[in-house]
Amino acid sequence: MPIIDNDGSNLYYTVKGKGIPIVLIHPPFITSASFKYQIEELSKNFKVIAFDIRGHGRSPFSEVSITYRLIAKDIKHLLDHLGIEKAYLCGYSTGGSVCLEFLLEYSDRALGAIIVSGMSEISDSYTKKLIIIATMLAKWGAIPLLGLAISWGNSDTMATFRQLYQEGLKGDKHNIEQYFRCSLTYTCTKQLAMINQPILLVYGTKDTTFFQYAKLLHEKLPKSQLELLHQKHQIPTKSAKELNRLIKRFIQSYE
């Protein structure tokens, strides 16, 4: 189900369920398919909206370079298209950065957010190196190789792996590279105190590199709560039941 954005770009999205709306924001390559367990389970209680970022999955190539601000703008247009005044945002990894950007740019359209393994900036050398490698692989057109690593890392079963990999391969290498590249320079850390909506932070106890980001966000965001799961970075697929339970409890506590 595509929509036409303001500048003529097509955006693929799905809507499932009724009730309080939740918009799911995926990281580079793996598309909205990375939230398949959230779409399936949370739609029993909420209106779940998932979309493929420009140039990812079923959303075609964007001539306009991908930035977090552009993705946030696309989310606003998607909400306008669906006639939704306000929604919760749920972003995984770099999708968490997009959540923060949306909260800063369009605070009047957000009820709150769930940030899963996310960050307001990348300051550690290990993660920077991984993203630089991913950016270069995308630039060189080695999307199948890059996709194998990302899809396998995010898979709980072979069926999930095949779905993530096949959907990811539909993306455009230029837009995938641009999305990766954003995280190397993006920061909104100094603006976090301006975000007044309730925020649920979910991180894995095995994701030790991201402890500093969990701590930073928890300290800087005025209305945040931090939950830890016994998992690595890839929580939406590998700890889906626990994540879904936390999201459901978080939203219902404010409604």
CATH number of the CATH domain containing 244: 3.40.50.1820
What's the pLDDT score for residue 62? Answer: 92
Query: Does the structure show a pLDDT above 90 at 6?
Result: no
Q: Are 88 and 115 in contact (CB under 8 A)?
A: no
What's the pLDDT score for residue 3? Answer: 72
Q: In the chain, which ranges are E strands?
A: 2-4, 10-16, 21-25, 47-51, 87-92, 110-116, 199-204, 224-229
Residue-wise pLDDT tens digits, 9-64: 789 999 999 999 999 999 999 999 999 999 999 999 999 999 999 999 999 999 99
Model pTM?
0.96
Residue-wise pLDDT tens digits, 120-149: 999 999 999 999 999 999 999 999 999 999
CA-CA distance, 135 to 179, in Å (whole number)?
9
Pairing of strands 47-51, 10-16: antiparallel
Domain range spanning residue 85?
Answer: 2-254
Domain count, the chain: 1
The rounded mean pLDDT for the chain is 95
Residue among 140, 34, 53, 159 nearest 102 (CA): 53
What's the pLDDT score for residue 211? Answer: 95
Query: Does the structure show a pLDDT above 80 at 158?
Result: yes
Going from the C-alpha of 78 to that of each of 16, 24, 51, 60, the distances in angstroms are 14, 12, 9, 16
Determine what percent of the chain is predicted with pLDDT higher than 70. Answer: 98
Residue-wise pLDDT tens digits, 174-199: 999 999 999 999 999 999 999 999 99
